[in-house]
Chain A
């Protein structure tokens, strides 16, 4: 009964149907074939989550392949957030309570005597209840022997940690580290009591030699917020950082971060819409690669001797000596052999978080425990500066090596115009005069007058306009003073060599800040702006705010100690190699900052410094009287920085710089002991203690073996002081 009309209309329907299906075909073609790649890309990021597998850091070794910083396994308790959130609230609470109680329990002690139930202590993780216990448990092997007792863990701490955005919620979130073996076993055995809790082994930094070279080695810590912000902007392309990653914060750990940091691996998981892991995409897995090993130029034996020497001299000086620094470099290439700063700390305490108390203690501005005093602090150079002022005097033609100058023990300094400034009578540090002396003698006896006269002459040369106003300082700075040495360590100070210009700037800024600094009197300010003859004289003997780092001194003397006059850029690096192999990644390259032209002055200078330790008139002669000079001839220079208050409360800084063995010097030692008194009183004995084992052959520099560094690098300062009490303590500057 269908009519043609019906068929006609059914035909319309067919056309409509065909066009609808055609539209679907076309759209599908565009979506699936034409613009397929775009969708593909989006889908893969949509459906997968990448988990970064951290790589172990490279080790740090000394020049004889002794491992200074290693990795050790730490047992880490973590909570799998993925599973944790599937628990209902009661289960979560119950589990956290059990976990907190278990983690707070101390191994081997039945009584819960510690007040670990105190709630709300946010630093519960690192409430270093353990710091006292470290000392008495610490004579086992290096690994795990000194783990701090686990601090109290509270439920609120656990909850806080679980919500901490620093942690990737696709990876188990660590809640406790370095747990005792008993706890580890308990957690594993009673796993059913602790759903979602994982017990993992992780690698953390370990220090086989304890606090030895702590400042030099530095430490690792979590990324700071600023660092993370920077990495979020632009991350390392090969070794991208995660927010929860650690990074070298200071020392070698910081400077050689790019080598030490391993290449993180990754695991790619397919996840569902709710973010639950479905399975791992095994073919996309990348195994982590450990970081490169950094081999330092440090010799751990010399490092130990250096730290022991510092500790011994500080112990001998009593409570007035508070801190010190010593650095040993090879003058032939600028490599650092040892670098010690006191007070020091145990870097192991910084592993895996640190309590606020300990941090406050380490960063106390009074003690500056974390500060590497060999490079980060500048001190008055005192008489060790006389090398530089000799060079400046010679270069400006003020003195000549063999032209004698009168040293009556005191010198009258007058600034023009004499009427307003008057004259200043300056006494020599030693007191008595030395008669007519040439340059070598001036160095050997440390004549101040000789150098006052250099400073005075330089002042007048400038005043007369024969040379620029800072020509004297300019020559001094040729030896590297006043600028950073460029060592491959962080936070270096450049020191300070006062110039007329810097003097004006200082006066201006003081005037700017408050006119009271000059009693609101413009004349006082203008007077302070003027560079005076006494200033030049003081600079010549390394006083008047002439600040240098112990390393700068070592490098300046290195430029004399090596025959070529090379001022090297110091470095702590020997080379970088692939992990556990000899494959070289980065070799050491000596960098010469400047070559000093000693002309024909070098013999006189060498003679003068040799006299300090070897001539009976030398300021450190008595100190070195028992030193085996025939095997290892040492030259040096004492320095006494007049920072003492005269009342005996605060003593002068003791400085000494030495090089040897003459004439083919391969070591330069620079020591500074704050409050150590005269240069020959504590700094020179320290240098003696550092050099003596090398001179006696106990340590053969280019060969390993010989002296064995005690386990954990433990130093018995009093015993060392006792042992070396025979070293003469000179009373001379």
Chain B
């Protein structure tokens, strides 16, 4: 077994010490030794840096052109960063292995929330998407949390199958992913659905689904997508947004299309005009003067591109890359399938969201409403990211126990 081959690489003394107790909190007080000594500091620092950078960018596009500058947005971001930090620490200290027993609850809860948000009156609708709960001054976007819920659900179930995936089990796993996806699609939140598809695909791949089955699934997905795009299930503007990037050089076909194209053009202009080193912080005319749409949320990357140029964009990509690398490494190091699959899902989620978000602003991906991890303004997304990193830390810290 792999276990025996893996064991010799771990330092024996630590492994034995940490296995004495299963309560992190107890450990915290009495034995500073085990899991806490294995915190992934690189990941922690990278997440801290990227999210702080995100806060700065949100400030740059929301401060307004003249003093007194508007700080309300950045304050909220910082508040969410603090809450997220606390959640992350809490999650990291929590032994993820317990989730192996609880995953049905987490998964079930997220599916329930997704269902509840569709009920008019319970959930709020914003620009045609029924996807928010209004909680006092805050809006909760359950689809963000549901992505994590799906990952935990998949990891929990798949780890119980212990790598023995016959067609029936693959179908069950597909069902686990399909339920939240379907509900998200009903909102409709196309971006999140697409991210979920990519995450599910990565999970299936890593979980050990045979290549032939993956091929069939891919084919099915392509056929399904084509059907969706042509059957009229999607609203016109959604199709327009999805397909605009393919037709960037052609004439606009409708007013919707025109608007989408305008957004895309402005975003590309903003980034392109940044040049190598950018126009300088707070000196972006496009992003600071609201030429670019949704600039503090989905289009936050344009602010980076315009103000800090290629250098800033590349640094951000590196920052995200470091985070992804650390999570990937944790997946490799994880001592069980459950942790490994969770990390895989989280990593896939961050990669896909980053690629799709940045890709859409530079015209290589369709425009969908997906936040840039750790950067975009938005509490639910940020908290989900911090929770995810907390889980990864938890896996990392307990890779020997």
Q: Which residues of A contact B (CB under 8 A)?
A: 1-7, 9-10, 12-14, 16-17, 20-21, 23-25, 27-29, 31-33, 35-36, 38-40, 42-44, 46-48, 270-274, 278-279
Contacts of B286 on A, CB cut-off 8 Å? 43, 46-47
Interfacial chain A residues near B334, Cβ < 8 Å:
1-2
Residue in B closest to A281 when the chains form the complex, CB atoms: B285
Known A-B contacts A44-B285, A47-B286, A279-B66; A31 and B202 likewise in contact (beta carbons under 8 Å): no
A-B residue pairs, 3 tightest by C-beta: A39-B272, A47-B285, A272-B289
Which residue of chain B has the shortest Cβ distance to A32 in the bound complex?
A: B310
| Structural contact, A33 and B332, CB atoms closer than 8 A | no
Chain A residues with CB under 8 Å of B268's CB are 31, 39
Q: Would B332 and A10 count as touching, CB distance under 8 A?
A: yes
B206 contacts A278, C-beta separation under 8 Å: no
User: Which residues from A are CB-within-8-Å of B340?
Assistant: 1-2, 6, 10
Docked-complex contact A31 and B2, CB < 8 angstroms: no
Known: A1-B337, A4-B2. A14 touches B362 (CB 8 A): no
A-B contact pairs, 27 of them (CB 8 A): A1-B2, A1-B334, A2-B331, A2-B333, A2-B337, A2-B340, A3-B2, A5-B208, A6-B337, A10-B328, A10-B331, A13-B348, A16-B351, A17-B324, A20-B355, A21-B351, A27-B364, A31-B305, A32-B275, A33-B275, A36-B274, A40-B272, A40-B273, A46-B266, A270-B289, A272-B289, A272-B291
Segment at the A interface, from B114-122, B234-242, B313-321:
B313-321
Interface pair A9/B208, CB less than 8 Å apart: yes
Give the Cβ gap from A374 to chain B, nearest Cβ, in Å: 57
Chain B window 312-353, contacts with chain A (Cβ cutoff 8 Å), 1 for yes, 0 for no = 011001001100100010011111110010001001100100
Whether A270 lies near B205 (C-beta < 8 A) is no
User: Which chain B residues lie closer than 8 Å to A40 at the CB level?
Assistant: 272-273, 275
Given contacts A1-B335, A13-B348, A46-B286, 15 further A-B contacts (CB under 8 A): A1-B2, A1-B340, A3-B2, A10-B206, A10-B340, A13-B344, A16-B351, A20-B355, A24-B354, A25-B317, A31-B272, A32-B275, A38-B272, A278-B289, A279-B66
**Contact (Cβ within 8 A) A36 B364:** no
Q: Contact flags (1/0) for B270-282 with A, using CB distance below 8 Å?
A: 1111111000000
Partner of B206, one of A9, A23, A36: A9
Contacts of A7 in B (CB 8 A): 332
Residue of B nearest to A2 (CB): B340
Task: Report yes or no: A17 in contact with B328, Cβ–Cβ below 8 A.
Answer: yes
Q: What residues of chain A lie closer than 8 Å to B378, measured between beta carbons?
A: none
Is B358's beta carbon under 8 Å from chain A? yes
- Does B84 count as interface, using CB distance less than 8 angstroms? no
Let me know if B289 and A271 touch, CB within 8 A. Answer: yes
> Given the complex, which residues of B lie within 8 Å of A46, measured CB to CB?
266, 269, 285-286, 291
Partner of A2, one of B291, B305, B332, B354: B332
Residues of chain A within 8 A of B351, CB atoms compared = 16-17, 20-21
Q: Which B residues lie within 8 Å of A44 (CB)?
A: 285
B3 within 8 Å of A (CB atoms): yes
Residues of B near A274 (CB, < 8 A) are: 290
C-alpha spacing A279/B333, complex, angstroms = 55
**Distance of A279 Cα from B269 Cα, bound (Å):** 21
Whether B364 pairs with A32 at a CB distance below 8 angstroms is no
**Chain A at the B interface: SS class:** helix
A270 touches B272 (CB 8 A): no
CA distance A36 to B309 in the complex (A): 10
- Cβ of B6 within 8 Å of any chain A Cβ, yes or no, is yes
On chain B, the residues within 8 Å of A9 by CB distance are 205-206, 208
Known contacts A14-B328, A39-B268, A273-B291: does B163 contact A279 (CB below 8 Å)? no
- B363: A residues at CB distance < 8 A: 27
Q: Given A2-B332, A28-B271, A38-B272, answer yes or no on A33-B310 (Cβ-Cβ < 8 Å).
A: yes
B271–A31 CB distance below 8 A = yes
A32 to B305, Cβ gap below 8 A?
A: yes
A28, B305: Cβ atoms under 8 Å?
yes
Chain B residues whose C-beta falls within 8 Å of the C-beta of A278 in the assembled complex: 65-66, 289
* A106-B216 Cα distance, complex, nearest whole Å: 88
Nearest CB of A to B388, in Å? 16
Q: Are B321 and A21 in contact, with the CB atoms below 8 A?
A: yes
- By beta carbon, the residue of chain B nearest A272 is B289
CB-CB under 8 A for A32 and B347, given A1-B336, A25-B314: no
B369 at the interface (CB under 8 A from A): no
0/1 interface trace, chain B 243-279, chain A, CB 8 Å (1 if under): 0000000000000000000000010111111111000
User: Nearest-CB distance from B321 to chain A (Å)?
Assistant: 6
B48 interface residue (CB < 8 Å to A):
no
In the bound assembly, the distance between CA atoms of A279 and B65 in angstroms comes to 8
A24 to B365, CA, bound (A): 10
- A499 to B275, alpha carbons, bound, how many Å? 75
Chain B residues near A6 (CB, 8 Å)?
206, 208, 337, 340
Q: Decide if B24 is an interface residue (CB 8 Å cutoff).
A: no
Q: Which residues of B contact A36 (CB under 8 A)?
A: 272-276
Which residues of chain B come closer than 8 Å to A24, judged between CB atoms? 317, 354-355, 358-359, 362, 364
- Report yes or no: B275 in contact with A47, Cβ–Cβ below 8 A: no
**Chain A minimum-CB-distance residue to B362:** A27
Distance in angstroms from B45 CB to nearest chain A CB is 20
Query: Which residues does chain B contribute within 8 Å of A1, judged by CB atoms?
Result: 2-3, 334-337, 340
Partner of A28, one of B285, B328, B337, B362: B362
Among A2, A13, A36, find the residue whose CB has the most chain B CB atoms closer than 10 A: A2
How far does the Cβ of B15 sit from chain A's closest Cβ, in whole Å?
A: 14
CB-nearest residue of chain A to B285: A47
A3 with B163: CB separation less than 8 A:
yes
- When chains A and B are docked, how far (Å) is the Cα of A457 from the Cα of B333? 126
Q: Would you give the 0/1 interface string for B136-152, flagging 1 where the beta carbon is closer than 8 Å to chain A?
A: 00000000000000000
B272 touches A32 (CB 8 A): yes
Query: What is the CB-to-nearest-CB distance from A607 to chain B, in angstroms, rounded to a whole number?
Result: 82
A12: B residues at CB distance < 8 A: 205
Instruction: Give the Cβ gap from A468 to chain B, nearest Cβ, in Å.
Output: 67
Please name all residues of chain B whose beta carbon is closer than 8 Å to the beta carbon of A16 when the two chains form the complex: 351
Min CB gap B267→A, angstroms: 10
Q: Is the CB of A31 within 8 A of B291?
A: no
Query: Are A13 and B289 neighbours in the complex by a CB distance under 8 Å?
Result: no
**CB nearest to A278 among chain B residues:** B65
- Of the candidates B272, B289, B314, the one whose C-beta lies within 8 Å of that of A273 is B289
CB contact list, B36-75 vs A, under 8 A: 65-66
Looking at A3, A6, A42, the one whose CB has the most chain B CB atoms below 10 A away is: A6
Are A28 and B310 interface neighbours, CB within 8 A? yes
Nearest B residue to A1, CB-CB: B336
Cα–Cα, bound, A664→B54 (Å):
91
State the CA gap A116–B186 with chains docked (Å). Answer: 64
How far apart are the CA atoms of A47 and B331 in the complex, in Å?
47
